[in-house]
Chain A
């Protein structure tokens, strides 16, 4: 136990810098994924032919293949197209694209759940189709998506571990380096695991808090009773 504590404290700065990279990748991936997911969800539900097809293809492709494969495709494939990006950029891109495909489906589900009636009501007072989508449908759909969507940050945070395979210095990569240095893989990965647990716990708490902020008075309780 004291050996573990010693290792933990000795490499804490290293582990924390890895955790910092993990959190950064998570935040970036979530943000990029939200924008992409919103565009794809809107495309799939309201878009014209082209937007719709591109959205469907994107969602299916990125939900239907392993994240690690997507990371490798971008890492090895982009240079072939004459695009050279840093490892961090490839990681950010892959995580954003991957998360976006999942976020698109959460949002699409809740957009469909809002129903045609709200669109009719918006159009009936003279709002255009897109004005109705932005002022009426999305504010409700995003709130409705939160409980399902709330799994995404934690899920993405854990997924970031795969990018150590393209040597992005995140928490998993740091743990591997420490294991090599100390010949104590169990201790090293356990230390990283503890930090993952703390991050997941905090992120979960943050999600619960924002869920409670997004409640529409009288509405949620109705939905739960039904």
Chain B
């Protein structure tokens, strides 16, 4: 029995003004699956993730979350986003709140949990990313790696059905990348459903169930990591993989 579909994108097209960012993209995400999206920059990967959690509206196509169409008119978009976690390249922690308060905010203001219950849950999530001892620190008092782990905890606290990661380690100093990838690898082992845009090929190879290669607004090919890395079907995929190992090869490490 194939595990159930959580997120399904059908023929998504996104246009900014005159620019077609991507056209006719379809993607199925199954429960517990970790999908890594790779591709050159400017290809529409970030835009695709933002369309999936309705931060940006697609021009055409449909998105289904657990079988329910979330692109349908009248959908409560806030409720959809509550169920889809997102982690950004530049962390985007709430700067005026401590790590703990960052994680608690969604619990008290969106889920309307009582304060004490929210605090307990938030502490659990901080422990999960190894930062229980930094609960009282403000974002500016944390390293980039710690900030990104708090951002992951903040998203996890909402008990999302899917987690979207948009180049979560691209803004980090090389020595801080490992701690964030470590947390993500653990999440994957815990069967979180994840969609990860990254240039970290080591992580992609070891953690992903499927790799999707995107270029110029379309999915060129996708497949299991071994297939895609060892036997890419398209010249463009080969070319990209060759370039990316040149660029990032030295520091890759999950």
Name A residues whose Cβ lies closer than 8 Å to a Cβ of B: 117-118, 120-128, 131, 135-136, 139-140, 143, 216-219, 221-222
Residues of B within 8 A of A135 (CB): 105, 109
Residues of B within 8 A of A217 (CB): 138, 140-141
* Among candidates A117, A131, A222, residue contacting B109 with C-beta atoms closer than 8 Å: A131
Known contacts A217-B140, A218-B140, A218-B141; decide if A125 and B154 are in contact (CB<8 Å).
Answer: yes
B:141-161 near A, CB below 8 Å: 141, 151, 154-155, 158
Compute how far the CA of A139 lies from the CA of B151 in the bound complex, rounded to whole angstroms: 19
Residues of B within 8 A of A127 (CB): 78, 105-106, 109-110
**A to B CB contacts below 8 Å, 26 in the list:** A117-B88, A117-B92, A121-B92, A121-B151, A123-B55, A124-B53, A124-B81, A125-B85, A125-B110, A125-B155, A125-B158, A126-B78, A126-B81, A126-B110, A126-B158, A127-B106, A127-B110, A140-B95, A143-B96, A216-B95, A216-B140, A217-B140, A218-B138, A218-B140, A218-B141, A219-B140
Contact B86 A124 (CB under 8 A): yes
The 3 closest A-B pairs by CB, nearest first: A126-B82, A218-B140, A121-B92
Residues of A within 8 A of B79 (CB): 126
* Among candidates B90, B106, B139, residue contacting A125 with C-beta atoms closer than 8 Å: B106
Residues of B within 8 A of A131 (CB): 109-110
Contact A118 B110 (CB under 8 A): no
Known contacts A118-B94, A135-B105; decide if A124 and B55 are in contact (CB<8 Å).
Answer: yes
Name B residues whose Cβ lies closer than 8 Å to a Cβ of A: 53, 55, 78-79, 81-83, 85-86, 88, 90, 92-96, 105-106, 109-110, 137-141, 151, 154-155, 158
Contact A125 B105 (CB under 8 A): yes
Closest residue of B by beta carbon distance from A140:
B96
* Among candidates B82, B86, B96, residue contacting A139 with C-beta atoms closer than 8 Å: B96
* Among candidates A124, A126, A219, residue contacting B95 with C-beta atoms closer than 8 Å: A219
* Among candidates A120, A124, A143, A219, residue contacting B138 with C-beta atoms closer than 8 Å: A219
Compute how far the CA of A143 lies from the CA of B95 in the bound complex, rounded to whole angstroms: 11
Residues of A within 8 A of B151 (CB): 121
Residues of A within 8 A of B105 (CB): 125, 127, 135-136
Compute how far the CA of A120 lies from the CA of B138 in the bound complex, rounded to whole angstroms: 19
